């Protein structure tokens, strides 16, 4: 006999189901011989173990960071990262007591710092405090959580949604939990690190297809689909390194043809694409239910922090009761949930924010191309790269712009291949045409100097 898990369950029964699920999960990861003592990797005396195995300053990652910093310093390039913003970082910001035109914030529609959003967060603090102090399945549920999840579900005409305290963890725990060793996950070559980490955690077979190439995906699935149980296709709404987007209708057709599941990461497309900012499905005029898993983050257009999954009831209840990143994590702080809910309500009420964002992005893209700047495949929707070809050049141009009052971060190797190091300009609906014109002019000057 199967038991339907629903929000109407009594507390004792819900706790019993959770405990049974946890017991099954523990048995699946703990072998019968789990108490067998761990055998030493080497019989060498402890005083002969190399220091690099127990000293963090000898860790390969730290050594790489030191080498990169030393090389930059030798070239007269200062560290462009971890700048200290002294107020709200929107189209402008204050760093070191000086004003800057800012292109390093995901505050696409200007809702982080919006008075209505801030007021919603403050009221939630007064009513619920600053933390729910536990996981939501145990004792952390608040009405504001459900209100936000229901509002997100409405965006996609989905049955339900679930919010997590981290956007990165949303992909890691959802993909890592839902798929396993008998499954195949096929993803765009430019997919985000969070999805990659989730795929690795799942243990599923992983294959990639060339960026936005739905025909290559079709060929892969034609050859591979029959060898696996579940197959997941992972793409993004807008790719944050390049500012372009996939042809969603073709990907929907392919997932239907091969009886696969389709996941779309809307971290950078919600609030940006579509007439009302409702994302890539609105942009293409397709039904939200044509995509199996909608993922997104609350830290960009929705002025908060965390991530979400939207989809059918079975998917959401599965994640709510068994996904480790939700089950074992504290619930989202009430003021963060309230801020994102208020931001979503404003976005629906004021679509002119999206229209202005599109105008500014198109102005930047058109002007940059006319000036001979390599913007790659960017559509001009929120993200426009200036591809400069080397990490050193990208860092120099970023520093040069900073001295002139423009804040834009370089993307360096190994985050991108060395020959495609770049500056990434994030647009905001609060940028003015004059600010964009000034930026393009300064960018052209600094590229010539680098």
Residue 20 forms part of a structural domain: no
**How confident is the model over 191-203, as pLDDT tens digits?**
999 999 999 999 9
Helix (H, G, I), strand (E, B) or coil at 295: strand
Query: Does some domain include residue 394?
Result: yes
Is 55 part of a structural domain of the chain? no
pLDDT of residue 76: 75
Residue 176 belongs to some domain of the structure: yes
Mean pLDDT score, 167-174: 98
Same domain, 296 and 434: no
CA 306/CA 164 separation, integer angstroms: 5
Q: Within this chain, do residues 164 and 134 fall inside the same structural domain, yes or no?
A: yes
> 43: pLDDT confidence band, cut at 50, 70 and 90?
low
Confidence at residue 44, expressed as pLDDT on a 0 to 100 scale: 61
pLDDT for residue 68: 79
> Residue 14 pLDDT more than 80?
no
pLDDT digits (tens, 9 = 90+) for 261-316: 999 999 999 999 999 999 999 999 999 999 999 999 999 999 999 999 999 999 99
Three-state SS string over 99-148 comes to EEEECCCCCCCCCCCCHHHHHHHHHHHHHHCCCCCCCHHHHHCCHHHHHH
pTM of the model: 0.88
Distance from the Cα of residue 332 to its chain's centroid: 17
Mean pLDDT across 6-18? 48
Residue ending a domain, among 349, 381, 410, is 349
Which domain range does residue 196 map to? 115-349
86 and 173 co-located in one domain: no
- Our count of domains for the chain comes to 2
**Range with the poorest average pLDDT among 61-65, 110-114, 164-168, 337-341:** 61-65
**246 neighbors 321 (Cβ within 8 angstroms):** no
What is d(CA 389, CA 376) in angstroms, rounded to the nearest whole number?
12
Answer yes or no: do 209 and 330 share one domain.
Answer: yes
Helices (H) and strands (E) in the chain, counts: 15, 13
The domain boundary, picked from 292, 322, 349, lies at: 349
Spatial neighbors of 278 by CB under 8 A, at least 6 apart, are 155, 270
Shared domain for 246 and 320, answered yes or no, is yes
Q: Is residue 213 assigned to a domain?
A: yes
User: What one-character-per-residue DSSP string does 84-96 give?
Assistant: -B-S--SSEEEET
The predicted pLDDT at position 38 comes to 52
Residue 5 resides in a domain: no
pLDDT value for 417 = 87
Residue 138: pLDDT band (50, 70, 90) is confident
Q: Which residue would you say has higher pLDDT here, 18 or 76? A: 76
The band of 2, judged by pLDDT with boundaries at 50, 70 and 90, is: very low
CATH of the domain at 301: 3.40.640.10
Tokens at 281, concatenated: 């499905």
Residue 284 in domain: yes
Q: Mean of the pLDDT values across residues 334-345?
A: 98
In terms of residues, how long is the chain?
A: 450
Domain membership flag for residue 109: no
Q: What order of strands is seen across the sheet that includes strand 92-95?
A: 92-95, 98-102, 406-407
Confidence of residue 23 (pLDDT cuts 50, 70, 90): low
Q: What CATH number is associated with residue 405? A: 3.90.1150.10
Higher local confidence (pLDDT), 77 or 162: 162
User: Of 324, 349, 374, which residue is a domain's last?
Assistant: 349
| DSSP one-letter code for 70 | H
Same domain, 317 and 356: no
Asked if residue 233 and residue 370 are part of one domain, the reply reads: no
Residues 237, 239, 244, 247, CA torsion sign: negative
pLDDT tens-digit series, residues 181-233: 999 999 999 999 999 999 999 999 999 999 999 999 999 999 999 999 999 99
Phi and psi, residue 245, nearest 5°: -145, 160
Q: What is the pLDDT of residue 15?
A: 52
Are 224 and 265 contained in the same domain? yes
Asked whether residue 291 falls in the same domain as residue 362, the answer is no
Q: Are residues 355 and 325 in the same domain?
A: no
Task: Give the model's pLDDT for residue 78.
Answer: 78
Print burial letters for 45-66: b (CB count within 10 Å at least 16), e (below 16). eeeeeeeeeeeeeeeeeeeeee
281, 215: one domain: yes
For 317, residues 6+ apart whose C-beta sits below 8 A from its C-beta are 5, 6, 160
Same domain, 194 and 312: yes
Stretch among 2-16, 29-43, 283-297 having the lowest mean pLDDT: 2-16
């Amino acid at each position: 006999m199967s038991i339907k898990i629903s929000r109407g369950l009594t507390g004792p029964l819900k706790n019993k189901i959770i405990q049974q699920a946890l017991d099954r999960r523990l048995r699946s990861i703990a072998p019968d011989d789990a108490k067998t003592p761990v055998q030493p990797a080497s019989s060498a005396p402890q005083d002969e173990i190399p220091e690099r195995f127990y000293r963090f300053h000898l860790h390969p990652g730290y050594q790489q960071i030191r080498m990169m910093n030393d090389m930059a310093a030798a070239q007269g390039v200062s560290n462009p990262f971890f700048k200290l913003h002294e107020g709200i970082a929107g189209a402008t910001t204050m760093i070191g007591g000086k004003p800057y035109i800012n292109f390093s914030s995901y505050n696409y529609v200007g809702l982080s710092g919006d008075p209505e959003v801030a007021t919603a967060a403050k009221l939630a603090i007064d009513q619920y405090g600053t933390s729910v102090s536990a996981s939501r399945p145990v004792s952390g549920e608040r009405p504001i959580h459900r209100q936000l999840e229901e509002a997100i579900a409405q965006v996609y005409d989905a049955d339900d949604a679930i919010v997590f305290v981290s956007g990165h963890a949303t992909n890691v725990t959802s993909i890592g939990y839902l798929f396993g060793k008998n499954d195949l996950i096929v993803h765009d070559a430019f997919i985000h690190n969070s999805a990659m980490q989730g795929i690795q955690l799942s243990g599923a077979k992983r294959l990639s297809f060339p960026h936005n190439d739905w025909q290559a995906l079709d060929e892969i699935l034609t050859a591979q689909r029959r060898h696996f149980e579940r197959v997941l296709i992972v793409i993004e709404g807008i790719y944050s390194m390049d500012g372009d987007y996939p042809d969603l209708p073709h990907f929907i057709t392919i997932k239907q043809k091969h009886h696969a599941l389709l996941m779309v990461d809307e971290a950078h497309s919600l609030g940006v694409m579509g007439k009302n900012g409702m994302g890539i499905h609105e942009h293409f005029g397709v039904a939200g239910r044509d995509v199996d898993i909608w993922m997104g983050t609350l830290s960009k257009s929705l002025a908060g922090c965390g991530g979400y999954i939207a989809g059918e009831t079975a998917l959401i209840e599965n994640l709510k009761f068994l996904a480790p990143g939700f089950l074992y994590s504290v619930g989202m702080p009430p003021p963060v949930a309230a801020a994102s809910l208020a931001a979503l309500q404003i976005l629906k009420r004021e679509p002119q924010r999206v229209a202005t964002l599109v105008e500014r992005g198109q102005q930047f893209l058109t002007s940059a191309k006319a000036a001979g700047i390599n913007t790659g495949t960017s559509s001009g929707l929120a993200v426009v790269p200036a591809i400069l070809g080397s990490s050193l050049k990208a860092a120099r141009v970023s520093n040069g712009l900073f001295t002139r009052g423009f804040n834009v971060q370089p993307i360096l190797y190994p985050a991108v291949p060395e020959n495609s190091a770049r500056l990434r300009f994030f647009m905001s609906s609060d940028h003015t045409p004059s600010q964009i014109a000034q930026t393009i002019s300064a960018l052209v000057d600094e590229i010539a100097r680098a």
